[in-house]
Amino acid sequence: MQKTYKTKSYADRQSRCMNTTPTPSMTPTTTMTTTGSASPAAGPVRFDTKIAVLLREDLETWQRLNVTAFLVSGLGTALPEVIGEPYEDADGVRYLSMLRQPVLVFEGTKETLTAAHARVLSRSLPRAVFTSDLFATGNDRDNRAAVRAVPTAGLDVVGLAVHGPRNAVDKVLKGARMHP
């Protein structure tokens, strides 16, 4: 029996990512200072959007990690508003910016991915796709050519990333479960 995604699981996962205690009203809203970082005294930063990655359950561990990295990079490059400020440690050493909110990772069957792909397209949400053909290529040019060679309905989707309002992303992910 497969466990399906529930809002409580999202709140629990998000609270762990933000080191907060989950509450029944864990309705994220963007509350950030002008620098894009939250002051610990100001309370947790909450978001009205969600970033989610959906992976096909039959992928090997290395494939799951690789697909996730590629997919979230697509969102970060197309949606600059999801990128936070650069990091700096106490010694002044600077580090690259990263996504400003947690990325929730889900898994599902091939049928779940196919349905989610159709739903994300019908809702016109920002998305990134990774197909099984990309495991056989070795560079960006060949990756793009491999996707372009297949009609939308024929894509063998093994990974999908989506960003948008929480309720819209939840509808896209219907039938998926949190990645273990």
Stated pTM of the model: 0.74
Q: What confidence category does residue 126 fall into, taking pLDDT thresholds of 50, 70 and 90?
A: very high
Of 56, 80, 79, the closest CA to residue 68 belongs to 56
Of 171, 26, 51, the closest CA to residue 103 belongs to 51
How far apart CA 74 and CA 116 sit, in angstroms, is 18
Residue 167, C-beta contacts closer than 8 angstroms, at least 6 positions apart: none
Of 126, 118, 102, the closest CA to residue 175 belongs to 118
Q: Is the pLDDT of residue 29 over 60?
A: no
Q: What confidence category does residue 46 fall into, taking pLDDT thresholds of 50, 70 and 90?
A: confident
Q: Is the pLDDT of residue 34 over 50?
A: no
Asked if residues 89 and 95 have their Cβ atoms less than 8 Å apart, the reply is yes
Share of the chain above pLDDT 70, in %: 77
Of 133 and 32, more confident: 133
Whole-number average pLDDT of the chain: 81
Residue 9, C-beta contacts closer than 8 angstroms, at least 6 positions apart: 178
Residue 163, C-beta contacts closer than 8 angstroms, at least 6 positions apart: 49, 50, 51, 52, 75, 79, 82, 125, 126, 127, 169
Q: What confidence category does residue 103 fall into, taking pLDDT thresholds of 50, 70 and 90?
A: very high
**What does DSSP assign to residue 92?**
-
Q: What confidence category does residue 136 fall into, taking pLDDT thresholds of 50, 70 and 90?
A: very high
Region 34-41 average pLDDT: 45
Q: Is the pLDDT of residue 14 over 50?
A: no
Asked if residues 130 and 67 have their Cβ atoms less than 8 Å apart, the reply is yes
Region 124-148 average pLDDT: 95
* Sign of the CA dihedral running 60, 75, 175, 46: positive
pLDDT of 41 reads: 59
